[in-house]
């Protein structure tokens, strides 16, 4: 069960009730507004990387369109007074079917440069497992120490050096990560014209 609210409907109802007294939510209520605030908070260079994609960004747009094709179908009169969206994965019961995906530059996205640690704390507070990136700004051991009872996974970009690869796996195991997520697509970086356009405009 979600550690923030026992029932999403109760939380939503509370937002509406607060609105009647003029109290506004602390966080944006739409993805578009959240994106606008993130862009305003980040440097132009960081935003060009985080929001941009490879090539002409066609795949990025296609992913958004594909995701928009999904929806939620409510089940009425199902006697679901208590919400339970937990799932069992690898022999462990998780509060939700969600994971915090690995983001290699998330450390640089926070003002203090420790976004990996902040994300791990969010994982601990919500019970949503985090997949920590190989490219985190903080040592994996420091990130894992923030998980509390929430399982953490380590994303491994396997380097060509087998000894280095083995070292990363051993460190992840020793730090307490519950799983290794092998990623194979970033040893050769994507071609990102948007990032280079930004750099050219600054020179």
Residue 72: per-residue pLDDT: 84
The third-level CATH classification (topology) of the domain covering 42-202 is TIM Barrel (3.20.20)
What are the structure tokens assigned to 179, written together?
């799983």
pLDDT in tens, the chain (203 residues): 344 545 667 888 889 999 999 999 888 889 899 999 999 988 888 888 888 888 888 999 999 999 999 998 888 887 767 777 889 988 889 888 999 999 888 888 888 889 999 999 999 998 899 999 998 999 999 999 999 999 999 999 998 899 999 999 999 999 999 999 999 876 677 787 776 666 556 65
Residue 123: per-residue pLDDT: 95
Please report where in the chains the tokens 């949503």 appear, as a residue. Answer: 128
Euclidean distance between CA atoms 47 and 63, whole angstroms: 19
- Whether 155 and 134 have beta carbons less than 8 Å apart is answered as yes
Residue 1: per-residue pLDDT: 37
pTM beyond 0.95: the answer is no
Residue 178: per-residue pLDDT: 94
Residue 187: per-residue pLDDT: 65
* Phi, psi torsion values for 47, nearest 5 degrees: -65, -40
Euclidean distance between CA atoms 185 and 115, whole angstroms: 23
Euclidean distance between CA atoms 127 and 96, whole angstroms: 8
Indicate the domain borders of the chain: 42-202
């Amino acid at each position: 069960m979600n550690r923030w609210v026992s029932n999403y409907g109760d939380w939503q109802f509370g937002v509406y009730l607060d609105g009647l007294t003029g109290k506004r939510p602390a966080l944006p209520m739409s993805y578009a507004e959240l994106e606008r605030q993130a862009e305003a908070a980040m440097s132009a260079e960081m935003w060009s990387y985080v929001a941009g994609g490879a090539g002409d960004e066609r795949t990025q747009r296609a992913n958004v369109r594909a995701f928009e094709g999904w929806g939620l179908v409510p089940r009425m009169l199902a006697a679901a007074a208590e919400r339970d969206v937990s799932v069992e994965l690898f022999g462990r019961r998780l509060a939700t079917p969600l994971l915090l995906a690995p983001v290699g530059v998330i450390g640089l996205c926070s003002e203090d440069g420790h976004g990996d640690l902040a994300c791990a704390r969010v994982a601990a507070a919500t019970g949503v497992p985090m997949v920590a990136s190989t490219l985190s700004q903080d040592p994996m051991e420091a990130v894992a120490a923030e998980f509390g009872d929430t399982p953490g996974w380590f994303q491994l970009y396997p380097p060509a050096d087998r000894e280095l690869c083995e070292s990363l796996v051993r460190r992840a195991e020793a730090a307490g990560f519950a799983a290794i997520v092998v990623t194979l697509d970033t040893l050769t970086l994507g071609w990102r014209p948007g990032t280079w356009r930004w750099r050219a405009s600054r020179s």
